[in-house]
């Protein structure tokens, strides 16, 4: 066991390394002489004491010895040491360092404690997964809850007072400032300010004599905050008074680390509420929430910061949806749809950017101004390109690009999230234009000699410049999304990536294909888009940041349908050379139309493909995939029924005549399809199938 020095957190908020251990004899105070114990080395100094590693010669075991430094020895300090020993001796818990004995007959007096070979909790924080953080905090919270049940308040909880031993078990120590729950009048619980300010609850600054178990719960929240963010809690200005310390706001952990699971953020913010009555009522309640997170269940924490934005009814409805579905009050698809609407209110950026949700004049003006900047920059290039010189082109586009991106970087550091997000999007959209102007003026990747298939003329940007700039911008957008996990940045990346794909295809003849009406070839060239977008969406479809997957699911779904539709319509003509029939022959009757038949059969195949994809998505384990499966289902009925209706008018196979009109076998296809739609709608509980079948 070792005792960290007070102030283990520096003024910059960095967590300093644990004090270096050194052998006894080279420190500022001589090693104590205690009968039956052999002092091995000095471990570290506290505010008024020193801790040694020692060997119990009678029982042949390692122990820790805590003594009072010579200059602090007094009757009051001795009483404090005795009180610490008495309080700690009450506790017998596997995650609390045990006290073996108090020896006050020696000089200096000392406490004999259990030896723990471990390191402070914050020293290993960066090596822990969120699951391991929750597991460790669960055990610490249960240890604190046990201490409260035994009538002991720690009052100095911090990462340095929690050791993690070689087996990975956390051990709580240093009850030097502890006091009894039912004896607020005892020594050290007066008006004097005691503890480590960085981890002290607001009430410890405002009324030190009235501190209760809620102060330990607040400190537990800050310890969890350090683990989740890797940063020290907020530190007011150096000359801050008690009022500023008491009113400091703890930012949501996801502001510093966007990977933090939202349930753990809720637990942290709940424990760190400013008012004691708003925190967990007991440390055991915090432990229960940590256990729910580890079990994959919904946590009960409702921080006041959330409730300022959302009513508790919204959360109650979200929590109740699973029960409603289990009681067959709503279907699974209805539950998914309702959950999706609620989850839009709980997106990561909406939780701590209130202005992103509300249409306030300032936010609307800011967003409108951003789009006007982008639009005016694009239009300016085309209207004034030939009227100014090269240096002016670079300056007039480069200056706003640099200013806006620099402003975005500054705003992120100041936690102006909504404004920073808008500036980031605007600045990113300006980067391709600035890059194109710069490459054009430098003559890099300029227009090829044969510019007939260049998107622009020889005096403007070349296809190679377009491809290079947009791929570089896509790489920058990936970096932004990796740093700041926002759905808007994911949508921005998806849009830039699509333009980069299109600009790359320009190098292979995209303009030529479109000029020559080779639409099927164009669609085939874009076929990797839905595949890659879908794989990216699946990769991002995780509970911690599933909102990032939505734009890529949209790109995958929409592009897949467009490509299928274009291929079904144009491939029979472009690739296979099928043509429409000529006028009906008076001798043989109506002529077969091979082109129309091929197109309708292709659309029918597209509908069946969409049905299979929808069926697979509908059985997926994630909510977003099920929602996209429901959208695919809506495409199936018209894709199947309409082609059959057209094919029924083609003279393929006749079953005779009814009166003077031939009866075609495919005319039965439509009613059969309607019956199948009704059956599938009933079996799969798809109202869209049933409604379409009845209407058709």
In a domain, 104, yes or no: no
Taking a C-beta distance cutoff of 8 angstroms, is the pair 528, 555 a contact? no
Choose the final residue of a domain: 349, 366, 394: 349
CA distances (Å), origin 428, targets 398, 460, 475, 500: 12, 21, 11, 14
Of 548, 478, 472, the residue nearest 503 (C-alpha): 472
Query: 156, 285, 336, 541: which is the annotated catalytic residue?
Result: 156
Residue 395 falls inside a structural domain: no
Q: What is the pLDDT of residue 584?
A: 57
At which of 309, 326, 349 does a domain end?
Answer: 349
Q: What is the 8-class DSSP label of residue 22? A: B
The answer to whether 9 and 16 have CB atoms below 8 angstroms apart is yes
Tell me whether residue 635 is in a domain: yes
**Do the Cβ atoms of 502 and 523 come closer than 8 Å?**
no
Which among 590, 589, 632 has a CA at the least distance from the CA of 610?
Answer: 632
C-alpha closest to that of 518 among 526, 527, 510: 510
Q: Using the 3D structure, point to which of 320, 349, 378 is the last residue of a domain.
A: 349
Q: CB of 204 within 8 A of CB of 155?
A: yes
HEC letters along 82-102:
HHHHHHHHCCCCCCECCEEEE
pLDDT at 29: 57
pLDDT of residue 189: 41
DSSP 8-state class, residue 235: -
- Does 639 reside within a domain? yes
Q: Kindly report, residue by residue over 361-376, the tens digit of the pLDDT.
A: 655 676 677 777 777 7
The predicted pLDDT at position 287 comes to: 95
Measured between alpha carbons, how far apart are the two ends of the chain, in Å? 79
pLDDT of amino acid 447: 72
pLDDT at 35: 79
Number of domains in the chain: 2
Residue 331's CATH number: 1.10.510.10
Residues of the domain holding 594: 581-696
Phi, psi (5° rounding) for residue 417?
-65, -45
User: Distance between CA atoms of 502 and 559, rounded to whole angstroms?
Assistant: 13
Distance between alpha carbon 595 and the CA centroid of its chain, in Å? Answer: 50
Contacts 24+ apart (CB under 8 A), 7-11: 7/196, 8/120, 8/122, 8/158, 8/159, 8/160, 9/198, 9/232, 9/235, 10/232, 11/235, 11/238
Q: What is d(CA 124, CA 120) in angstroms, rounded to the nearest whole number? A: 7
Instruction: Give 50's strand partners.
Output: 45, 67
Does some domain include residue 532?
no
Question: Does residue 566 fall inside a structural domain?
Answer: no
Q: CA-to-CA distance for 53 and 39, rounded, in angstroms?
A: 6
CB proximity list for 134: less than 8 A, separation 6 or greater: 264, 290, 293, 294
Query: To which residue do tokens 């530190």 refer?
Result: 235
| Residue 179 covered by a domain | yes
Please, which residues have CB within 8 angstroms of residue 625's CB and are 6 or more apart in sequence? 538, 541, 553, 617
Residue 275: partners with Cβ closer than 8 Å, 6 or more residues away: 202
The maximal CA–CA distance of the chain, rounded, in angstroms, is 127
pLDDT in tens, 555-598: 998 999 999 999 999 998 889 888 766 555 555 555 667 888 88
DSSP three-state, residue 200: coil
What pLDDT was estimated at residue 206? 75
Distance of alpha carbon 221 from alpha carbon 118, whole angstroms: 22
* Residue 308 within any structural domain of the chain: yes
CA distances from 85 to 90, 151, 171 (A): 9, 14, 17
The pTM score is 0.53
Whole-number Å distance between alpha carbons of 54 and 34: 10
Q: 358: which residues sit within 8 A by CB, 6+ positions away?
A: none
All residue ranges of the chain with pLDDT < 50 are 1-28, 181-191, 348-357, 359
Element housing 202 (H / E): helix 202-206
DSSP per-residue codes, 350-416: HHH-GGGTS--HHHHHHHHHHHHHHHHHHHHHHHHGGGS-HHHHHHHHHHHHHHHHHHHHHHHHTT-
Pull the structure tokens for residue 77.
């300090």
Question: CA dist 493 to 473, 488, 695, Å?
Answer: 9, 9, 41
CA dist 531 to 551, 555, 628, Å?
14, 10, 15
Q: What is the DSSP string of 521-590?
A: HHHHHTTHHHHHHHHHHHHH-STTSGGGGHHHHHHHHHHHHHHHHHHHHHHHHHTT------SPBTTTBS
122 is catalytic: no
Q: Tell me the three-class secondary structure of 470-495, residue by residue.
A: HHHHHHHHHHHHHHCCCHHHHHHHHH
What element of type H or E holds 643?
helix 623-647
Question: Could you identify the residue written with the tokens 């001589």?
Answer: 30
**Omega before 108 within 30 of 0, i.e. cis:** yes
Q: Which residue, 302, 312, 297, is CA-closest to 279?
A: 302
Tokens of 261: 């699971």
How many angstroms separate the Cα of 633 from the Cα of each of 616, 628, 642, 681? 11, 9, 15, 10
Q: How far is CA 677 from CA 236, 632, 639, 687, 689, in A?
A: 66, 14, 12, 10, 5
pLDDT at 483: 87
pLDDT at res. 395? 85
188 to 83, 174, 183, 192: CA distances (angstroms): 10, 15, 11, 8
Q: What would the DSSP string read from start to end of 140-187?
A: HHHHHHHHHHTTEE-S---GGGEEEETTS-EEE---TT-EETT-TTST
């Amino acid at each position: 066991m070792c005792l960290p020095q007070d102030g283990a957190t520096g003024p910059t908020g960095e967590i300093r390394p644990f004090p270096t251990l050194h052998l006894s004899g080279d420190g500022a105070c001589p090693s104590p002489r205690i009968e039956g114990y052999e002092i091995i080395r000095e471990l570290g100094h506290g505010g008024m004491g020193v801790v040694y590693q020692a060997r119990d010669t009678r029982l042949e075991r390692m122990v820790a010895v805590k003594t009072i430094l010579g200059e602090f020895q007094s009757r009051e300090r001795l009483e404090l040491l005795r009180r610490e020993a008495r309080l700690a001796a009450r506790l017998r818990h596997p995650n609390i360092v045990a006290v073996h004995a108090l020896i006050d007959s020696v000089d200096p007096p000392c406490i004999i404690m259990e030896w723990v070979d471990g390191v402070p909790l914050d020293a290993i924080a960066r090596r822990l997964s969120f699951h391991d953080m929750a597991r460790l905090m669960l055990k610490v919270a249960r240890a604190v809850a046990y201490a409260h049940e035994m009538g002991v308040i720690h009052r100095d909880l911090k990462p340095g007072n929690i050791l993690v031993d070689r087996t990975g078990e956390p051990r709580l120590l240093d009850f030097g400032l502890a006091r009894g729950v039912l004896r607020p009048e005892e020594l050290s619980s007066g008006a004097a300010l005691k503890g480590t300010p960085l981890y002290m609850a607001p009430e410890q600054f405002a009324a030190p004599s009235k501190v209760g178990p809620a102060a330990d719960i607040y400190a537990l929240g800050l310890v969890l905050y350090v683990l989740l963010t890797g940063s020290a809690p907020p530190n007011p200005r150096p000359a801050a008074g008690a009022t500023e310390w008491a009113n400091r706001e703890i930012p949501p952990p996801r502001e510093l680390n966007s990977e933090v699971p939202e349930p753990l953020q809720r637990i942290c913010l709940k424990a760190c509420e400013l008012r004691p009555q708003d925190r967990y009522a007991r440390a055991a309640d915090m432990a229960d929430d940590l256990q729910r997170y580890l079990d994959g269940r919904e946590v009960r924490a409702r921080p006041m910061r959330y409730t300022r934005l959302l009513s508790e009814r919204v959360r109650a409805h979200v929590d109740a949806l699973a029960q409603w579905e289990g009681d067959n009050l709503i279907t699974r698809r209805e539950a998914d749809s309702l959950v999706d609407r609620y989850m839009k209110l709980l997106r990561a950026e909406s939780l701590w950017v209130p202005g992103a949700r509300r249409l306030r004049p300032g936010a609307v003006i800011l967003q409108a101004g951003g789009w006007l900047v982008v639009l005016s920059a694009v239009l300016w290039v085309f209207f004034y390109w030939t009227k100014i010189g090269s240096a002016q082109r670079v300056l007039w586009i480069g200056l706003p690009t640099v200013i806006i991106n620099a402003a975005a970087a500054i705003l992120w550091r100041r936690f102006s999230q909504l404004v920073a997000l808008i500036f980031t999007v605007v600045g990113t959209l300006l980067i391709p234009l600035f890059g194109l102007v710069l490459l054009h003026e430098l003559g890099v990747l300029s227009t090829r000699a044969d510019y007939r298939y260049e998107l622009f003329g020889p005096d403007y940007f070349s296809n190679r410049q377009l491809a290079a700039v947009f791929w570089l911008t896509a790489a920058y957008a990936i970096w932004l999304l990796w740093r700041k996990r926002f759905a808007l940045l994911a949508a921005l990346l998806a849009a830039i990536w699509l333009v980069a794909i299109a600009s790359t295809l320009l190098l292979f003849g995209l303009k030529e294909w479109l000029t020559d009406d080779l639409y099927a070839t164009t669609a085939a060239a874009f076929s990797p888009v839905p595949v890659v977008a879908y794989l990216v969406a699946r990769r991002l479809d995780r509970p911690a940041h599933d909102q990032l997957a939505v734009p890529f699911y949209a790109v995958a779904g929409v592009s897949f349908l467009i490509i299928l539709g274009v291929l079904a319509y144009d491939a029979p003509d472009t690739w296979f050379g099928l043509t429409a029939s000529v006028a009906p022959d008076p001798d043989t009757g109506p002529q077969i139309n091979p082109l129309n038949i091929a197109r309708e059969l292709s659309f029918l195949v597209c509908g069946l493909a969409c049905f299979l994809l929808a069926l697979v998505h509908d059985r997926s384990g994630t909510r977003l995939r099920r929602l996209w499966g429901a959208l695919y289902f809506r495409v199936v009925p018209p894709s199947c029924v309409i082609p059959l209706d057209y094919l029924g008018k083609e003279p393929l196979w006749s079953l005779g005549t009814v009166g003077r009109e031939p009866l075609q076998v495919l005319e039965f296809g439509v009613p059969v399809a309607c019956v199948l739609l009704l059956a599938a709608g009933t079996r799969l509980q798809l109202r869209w199938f049933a409604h379409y079948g009845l209407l058709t």
